[in-house]
Amino acid sequence: MIYSRIIGTGSYLPVKTVTNHDLEKIVDTSHDWIVSRSGISERHFAADDEKTSDLAMHASRRAIEAAGISADEIDLIIVATTSPDQLFPSTACILQDKLGIRSGGPAFDMQAVCGGFVFALNTADMYIRGGQAKTVLVVGAEVLSRMLDWNDRTTCVLFGDGAGAVVLRASEQPGIISAKLHSDGRHREMLKADPKISMDGQSVFKFAVKVLSDVVDEVLKDNGLQGSDINWLVPHQANIRIIEATAKKLGLGMANVVVTVGQHGNTSAASIPLALDTAVRDGRIQTGQNIMIEAVGGGFTWGAALIRW
Ligand code: UT7
């Protein structure tokens, strides 16, 4: 049996940090409101000349270095993004060139908004299990700061820029155990960018809490496991209250949840690989542990995956 294992992680945040107090100067809001409603204290914004592929490149280089491989061993690149450099070519093709990868393997983007990283990881896993790829770079990268409507205080305070990457490799040892993905286009008006982000926050909130615990339950049930078997829940980082509600439904204490939303804001497809890399580098995530990732985003799309580290 072939599995895919994560053999390296990396992440990158743009240098510029924007605090809630910085936002108070340009929007009718307050640090206390943002923290109490979302858990966010600060976020990073890309420089004017920094593109999504640049953030992806920095995160990827770190993941490739951590994996101890040479970039040319990568035979598939999938970039989950909802803020590509341009309409085409894909950010994945641009990234392939910036990394100097000349292997000629396929590179493409995946668009599932905040669910993007889970969708991309599952797709990469299918390529590996199907024998079509051996070493895959999966990236979540976003520059959402350029999609914010500064006249809409209910959304512009929530998002940030960043990138995270993982290198997956074919292995006989279990890695990605299983995943479940869902979409329901009937809810597409609840959260969209056209081209600026707009959202019915309360409806998204209720929908998110329900489908996230449902999809994590599905994955646990598929594997005969319970919430208490999860060592680390690494959720999409949109709102601390959604994260807490999901953990509670699973019977997990917050001591088993990786939380980065306070420092990163909502970085859409980048939030899970950013959080994963944070917890790998600070030593919380260890070999042999069960990691559950989950996300929900515009579309609507949602999914979860169980990973044996
Ligand atoms: O990644 C994809 C998924 N996205 C999400 O998960 C986001 C889901 N939704 C949320 O996280 C929350 O709904 C929000 C953080 C967006 C909003 O929190 P809320 O508790 O649902 O607040 P609300 O929309 O009910 O607004 C409460 C009050 C309103 O004032 P009134 O009508 O009660 O007088 C808003 O006008 O807060 C006001 N408000 C603000 N006040 C200060 C809205 N935005 C702001 C703001 N600063 N930025």
Pocket lining: 128 vs ligand 1, CB cutoff 6 Å: no
At 197-210, the pLDDT tens digits run: 999 999 999 999 99
CB 124 within 8 A of CB 165: no
> How is residue 303 written in tokens?
């999914």
Judged on CB neighbours under 10 Å (0-12, 13-18, 19+), 192 is middle
Region(s) of the chain under CATH 3.40.47.10? 3-171, 176-308
Tokens representing 10 are: 């990396």
CA atoms within 13 A on the CB side of 281: 17
CATH topology of domain 176-308: Peroxisomal Thiolase; Chain A, domain 1 (3.40.47)
**Does residue 239 have its Cβ closer than 6 Å to ligand 1?**
yes
User: Which residue's CA is the nearest one to ligand 1's atom 23?
Assistant: 202
| Percent of residues, the chain, with pLDDT higher than 90 | 100
Residue 111 is predicted with a pLDDT of 97
For residue 160, the model assigns a pLDDT of: 98
Neighbours of 231 (CB within 10 A): 17
Any ligand 1 atom below 6 A from CB of 202: yes
Query: What would the pLDDT profile of 252-303 be if each residue is shown by its tens digit?
Result: 999 999 999 999 999 999 999 999 999 999 999 999 999 999 999 999 999 9
Active site residues: 114, 236, 266
Separation of CA 246 and ligand 1 centre (Å):
19
Long-range CB contacts for residues 198-207, cutoff 8 Å, separation at least 24: 198/149, 198/152, 198/155, 199/154, 199/155, 201/154, 201/155, 205/239, 205/241, 205/242, 207/296, 207/300
Match domain 3-171 to its CATH number in 2.40.50.140, 3.40.50.300, 3.40.30.10, 3.40.47.10: 3.40.47.10
* pLDDT value of residue 194: 94
Give the nearest ligand 1 atom to 114 CA.
Answer: 1
